Structure 1
Amino acid sequence: MFIETETTPNPATLKFLPGRQVMPAGTREFTSHEEAAASPLAQALFDLGDVTGVFFGQDFISVTAAPGAEWPSLKPQVVSILLDHFVSEAPLFAGGDASDIAVPAEADQDFGDDPADADVVAQIRELIETRVRPAVANDGGDIVYRGFREGVVFLTMQGACSGCPSSTATLKHGIESLLKHYVPEVTEVRAA
């Protein structure tokens, strides 16, 4: 088995591609050792001590290194853990499969949409699903729709995109411009 690695726009995060499915649907982010207890793989990565974030995508895992950690020494350790996990075909989550454990993207924090905005919200969600999320996944992350109120779209960046130095530019210049172009009711995009 060979695990490819890719850099991401976030210098603290590397994207690892095991060449097989990681999550059957959805994504899952772990930002603490406590959260990682739900997944033996995430737990093993956090146990390295120099990991501050793990993100499972459909066919990749993004790992964020702690400040001061050096990727040249951390990367072989991460690859070793990933190889052990996938070769042994261990479960991704403790006590169940990914479909039982994966947190739906919209379940965390929802700003609540006004039913009168249903058509606008449907357009926004469609653009995010078809144009934005695939591009963000290429960079080792995900973007989650949180709500639309008074012209403002609220989004959350996850994985490599969370804490990325270019995330503000991505939100403001990329996503905001796209949404404003196709959905005139959108006046602004904010991180949630």
Structure 2
Amino acid sequence: MKDVKITIQETTNNTIIKFNTNQILINGGSYEYNNIDEAKNAPLAQQLFYLPFVKKIFITANFIAIQRFDILEWADVQEEVKEQIEAFLNNGGIVVNEKTNSSKKEAIEIYAEVTPNPSVMKFGSNKSLTQTDVEYKNIDEANKSSPLAQAIFNFPFVKEVFISDNYISVTKYDMVEWNDVFAEVRTFIREYLVAGKIIIKELPNKEGNISANKTEEPQVKLEGIPGQIVDILDEYIKPAVAGDGGNIAFRSYDADNKIVSVVLQGACSGCPSSTATLKNGIESLLKEMLPNQINEVVAING
């Protein structure tokens, strides 16, 4: 792991702080440790537990969350912890030894669900796949970032791949019907995950790969109307669209014209009903909850 950079993000719990990384730490899923004994398979967590104020550690693919005891404030030590994590990672330290239990195959189930978009099938999993939603429009975008997405693109009928927390939405070309191929894709994804292969090895490059949209919570918490919009989307909209294999991400708010721009992904992207969803669902809700602040909601790449 080279040139790892850490950014600090506060959370709603003032005892917990997140250290976001610009590189993938683990191959999907997450790990939680309450003490140094539980962290035997996690060298980084073991090292952090030697800090007397560390109470609990939570490790995901692209961030480390640490809960502190009340003996001090994060403002006093967060930069020191950031530097320690960066040094550990840049020196090639192992975050989690994920091969510890490799002899015992994980019980993974994959189920297929139709979505409102007839071109998209949702493949749900009982395994956490990523903490950061990623979307790939073609195999070239997936090559450097996600071996799983790259492998799915080897099916000739696959047009786009969207990977979220516990599901994968696959968009097909019109050359086939899902009834003829979904079972094959479902089996392939399950066998890939059971084998413990890498899901995402690095996040899409925002500068060099614009269309591979990386959507995650802003590292700087938004305030005012944009912050309220994000909260409403997270609480009321995202769970509903995720159930249909899609995702909606806040992109911007034009205060002068009161226009909200969002990104539609997965099953939502290109869905025939997406316009109705925008106007009758998202736009109406935002207008109701933020009176006189919203004139229109537009999808910039929907």
Number of aligned residue pairs: give it: 177
2:170 equivalent to 1:60? no
**Which amino acid in the other structure matches residue 283 of structure 2?**
E
Pairwise mapping of residues 31-70 of structure 1 onto structure 2 (< 5 A)? 31-37=137-143, 38-70=145-177
Q: How far has the Cα of 1:64 moved from its partner?
A: 0.9
- Contact 1:106/1:146 (<8 A) preserved: no
Matched, 1:174 2:288: no
Deviations 1:86-138 (A, max 9, x none): 11011102xx3xxx52664169xxxxxxx9xx411111111011111111111
5+ residue gaps, structure 1: 108-114
Please give the alpha-carbon distance, in whole angstroms, between the structure 2 residues aligned to 1:104 and 1:82: 22
Q: For residues 68 and 104 of structure 1, what CA distance do their matches in structure 2 show?
A: 29
List per-residue Cα deviations over 1:19-64 (Å, max 9, x = no partner). 11111x1211111111121212111111111000111110111111
CA distance in 2, matches of 1:19, 1:121: 33
Paired position in structure 2 for 1:6: 113
The answer to whether the 8 A contact 1:50-1:74 is kept is no
Partner SS for 2:174:
coil
Which position in structure 2 is the counterpart of 1:26? 132
Q: Distance in 2 between matches of 1:91 and 1:144?
A: 25
* 1:76 Cα deviation from its structure 2 partner: 2.2
Equivalence for 2:124 = 17
Pick one of 185, 210, 226 that aligns with 1:121: 226
Moved more, 152-161 or 67-76: 67-76
2:196 partner letter: E
Report the CA distance between 1:153 and its aligned residue. Answer: 0.4
8 Å CA contact 1:31, 1:54 repeated in 2:
yes
> Structure 1 residue 186 and structure 2 residue 186: aligned?
no
- Tell me, in whole angstroms, the C-alpha distance in 1 between the residues paired with 2:160 and 2:138: 7
Residue 84 of structure 1 and its aligned partner are, at CA, apart by 1.8
Assess if the C-alpha contact under 8 Å between 1:106 and 1:145 holds in 2. Answer: no
Whether the 8 Å CA contact 1:50–1:66 is kept in 2: the answer is yes
Equivalent runs, 1:132-147 vs 2, <5 Å: 132-147=237-252
Q: CA RMSD in A?
A: 1.8
Identity of aligned residues (%): 38
User: Aligned letter for 2:234?
Assistant: E
Equivalent-residue separation in structure 1 for 2:228 and 2:190 (angstroms): 41
Look up the match of 1:111.
none
Q: Structure 1: how far apart are the matches of 2:186 and 2:298?
A: 35
1:72 to partner: Cα distance: 2.2
Paired amino acid for 2:198: P
Ranges of 4+ aligned residues in structure 1 off by more than 6 Å: none
Question: SS at the partner of 1:163?
Answer: coil
1:101 alignment partner in structure 2: 203
> What is the aligned counterpart of 2:187 among 70, 80, 91?
80
CA drift of 1:68 comes to 2.3
CA distance in 1 between partners of 2:298 and 2:125 (Å): 33
Which letter maps to 1:34?
D
Which of structures 1 and 2 has the larger relative contact order (alpha carbons within 8 angstroms, sep 6+)?
A: 1
Q: Distance in 2 between matches of 1:48 and 1:162?
A: 20
Q: 1:76 to 1:31 in 2, by over 3 A?
A: same
Cα deviation, residue 142, structure 1: 0.6
Structure 1 window deviating more from structure 2 (4-13 vs 35-44): it is 35-44
Contact 1:9/1:166 (<8 A) preserved: yes
2: CA distance, partners of 1:92 / 1:125? 27
